Amino acid sequence: MAEKGTLLLVGTAKGLFILQRAAGTEKWSIVGPHFAGRAVYSAFYDERKGRGDLWAAATSWHFGAELLKSTDMGATWDEPERMRIKMPANTKKSLENIWQIAPGADADTLYVGAQPASLFESYDGGETFKLNKGLWVHPHRKKWTPGFGGLAVHTVITDKKDPNDIKIAISTGGVYQTADGGENWQVTNTGVKAYFLPDQYPEFGQCVHKIARHPKKKNTYFLQNHHGVYRSRDGATTWQEIESGLPSNFGFGITVSDAGSVFIVPLDSDGKRFTCEGKLRVYRSRDEGKSWEPLAKGLPQKNAYEVILRDSVASVGNNIFFGTKNGKLFGSGDDGDSWKLIEGSLPEICCVKAYKI
């Protein structure tokens, strides 16, 4: 089979950039910004059923957040008369942002994680969406509180083989999951700390920044918390601390490569929120969190005060990418051993999504 090229969807505070690299080359093409001036916190490339559709959430702080679709790789975007994602009138809420677009097991299913903390679902390929009622009526919902970025469902992880298995993360609420396709949701934060609460191991209320699943081990997950890095081996139900050897346990993004390597970019505490010691270092674990090693080859090691947001670390195969709030986009093609600057002056990067096409 011919080697595939790479597609990067880079959402920024000022629009979406689409980068492509042909197979066997080092050169990237870049097109954008799409939706100039609007913030893009989530994007998704849907290749199921041979579609080749791009989805992106564009948020105008004036005119609202909306989900847009392109069937021609961004040459044109539809702009529906009525917004696709809307809070039902009986919620008395309005949509503030869209943080995640994720495929379901079925080729026509899409999930959208939103702010205020809610999950929307589509079973017709994105033609129509409806609010997931099971999560909305969850008795915990009214006790969830907004983090610095707002109160949102920012992570949605689905199982390609099991349409009933959905895991989500909420800041602040923590990890919730359903085994019945979204009718009922269980809270699964056991072992995850909430240092900012009097009860530091509550049932819920944790500020989980991101969770990622091991590509080959169905029940193994990794979690970057608001101070804390964890692993679960029981399907994101209970969590064990895996932060020994890290310069800080604070950070946002986390990803796992095909090789099973876990990548994070530690930041120096929630009070400072920039890279430790002014050095931009990615940390990799090749033993599921037992040990960590700093990766710095090709990354600035002096006066590098960067912030990497929760959805700005991504991988496809053993290619790893991350973007910073200062608009730098880095990539590695060797499972993190070395890094190259792809773009250096984009607007604040809010999300990076990587695909082979």
Give the interface with other proteins as residue ranges (CB under 8 A): 13, 60-64, 66, 79, 81-83, 86-89, 91-95
Beta carbon nearer to other proteins, 80 or 245: 80
Shortest reach from residue 101's CB to other proteins, in Å = 19
Beta carbon nearer to other proteins, 78 or 293: 78
Instruction: Please state, in angstroms and rounded to a whole number, the distance separating the CA atoms of residues 27 and 50.
Output: 26
Beta carbon nearer to other proteins, 27 or 92: 92
User: Tokens 């091991």 — which residue?
Assistant: 214
Task: Give the chain's end-to-end CA distance (angstroms, integer).
Answer: 12
Shortest reach from residue 59's CB to other proteins, in Å = 11
Helix, strand, coil: what percent of the chain each, to 5? Answer: 5, 40, 55
Shortest reach from residue 57's CB to other proteins, in Å = 14
Say if residues 119 and 173 touch (Cβ distance below 8 Å): no
Beta carbon nearer to other proteins, 35 or 305: 35
Helix intervals (H) in 24-180: 133-136
Edge-to-edge strand order for the sheet containing 208-213?
208-213, 221-225, 229-232, 240-241
The helix or strand, by DSSP H or E, that contains position 83, with its residue range, turns out to be: none
Nearest to 178 by CA among 208, 125, 135, 143: 135
Say if residues 344 and 305 touch (Cβ distance below 8 Å): no
Beta carbon nearer to other proteins, 31 or 36: 36
Shortest reach from residue 251's CB to other proteins, in Å = 23
Beta carbon nearer to other proteins, 25 or 345: 345
Say if residues 255 and 314 touch (Cβ distance below 8 Å): yes
Shortest reach from residue 12's CB to other proteins, in Å = 13
User: Tokens 């009070």 — which residue?
Assistant: 271
Shortest reach from residue 87's CB to other proteins, in Å = 5
Report how far apart, in Å, the C-alpha atoms of 59 and of each of 164, 283, 289, 325 are: 30, 32, 36, 17
**Phi, psi for residue 58 in degrees, rounded to 5:** -110, 125
Beta carbon nearer to other proteins, 122 or 225: 122
Which conformational region is residue 204 in: left (phi greater than 0), alpha (psi within -120 to 50 degrees), or beta? beta
Beta carbon nearer to other proteins, 47 or 348: 348
Q: What is the 3-state secondary structure (H, E, C) of 193-211?
A: CCCCCCCCCCCCCECEEEE
Nearest to 5 by CA among 346, 294, 344, 354: 354
Shortest reach from residue 325's CB to other proteins, in Å = 12
Shortest reach from residue 150's CB to other proteins, in Å = 14
At 259, the amino acid letter reads A
Beta carbon nearer to other proteins, 228 or 347: 347
Shortest reach from residue 38's CB to other proteins, in Å = 10
Q: Which two tokens stand for residue 228?
A: 């804390």
Say if residues 255 and 320 touch (Cβ distance below 8 Å): yes
Instruction: Please state, in angstroms and rounded to a whole number, the distance separating the CA atoms of residues 278 and 268.
Output: 9
